[in-house]
Structures are given as C-alpha cells and as structure tokens.
C-alpha cells in the first residue's frame, strides 16, 4: 500500500512543478511582451501554453487517477 501512495505523491508533486513552470513562462512572456511591444505574439504563445496544459496535462492526470484507483481493486496487495 505504501508504494501506491508514494507514486501518487510523486505524481502530484510533478503536476505542481509543471504548473509552476507554466505560470513562470507565462509571466516571463507577459513581461517581454510589455517591454518590446509585441503583445500579439505573446498572446498567441500564452494560448499555446494553455492549450498544451489543457490538451495534454489534464488527460494524463485523469489517466493517472484511473490507474491509481484501479490498483486498489485488483488485489495485488501492495
């Protein structure tokens, strides 16, 4: 049972780190956009980051959650 919780905590920590990195990139892009006056390019870059987070990160999170919940019922007795 401890292996399951260890894996889940690592996945949660990884998700938080990925979110912090995405937020940091967005803040840096906004700063560069305001400094250089290229707001249109910055807005498109921010949209692409959000599409990546929503299109890839959320489904991977659901798959990991289903995998984790499935390990409780398969009787492997961690």
For residue 25, which of 58, 6, 2, 50 has the smallest C-alpha distance? 50
Where do the structural domains in the chain lie, given as residue ranges? 2-70
pLDDT recorded at residue 39? 84
Please state whether the predicted TM-score (pTM) of the whole model is above 0.85: no
Q: Which of 59, 56, 54, 64 is nearest to 8 (CA)?
A: 64
Tokens for 34, please give them. Answer: 């305001």
Span 15-33, pLDDT tens digits: 788 888 888 988 888 888 8
């Amino acid at each position: 049972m401890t292996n399951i919780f260890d894996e889940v905590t690592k996945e949660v920590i990884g998700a938080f780190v990925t979110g912090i990195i995405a937020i940091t990139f967005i803040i840096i892009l906004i700063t560069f956009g305001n400094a250089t006056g290229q707001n249109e390019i910055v807005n498109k870059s921010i949209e692409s980051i959000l599409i990546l987070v929503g299109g890839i990160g959320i489904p991977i999170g659901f798959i990991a959650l289903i995998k984790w919940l499935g390990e409780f019922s398969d009787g492997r007795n961690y």
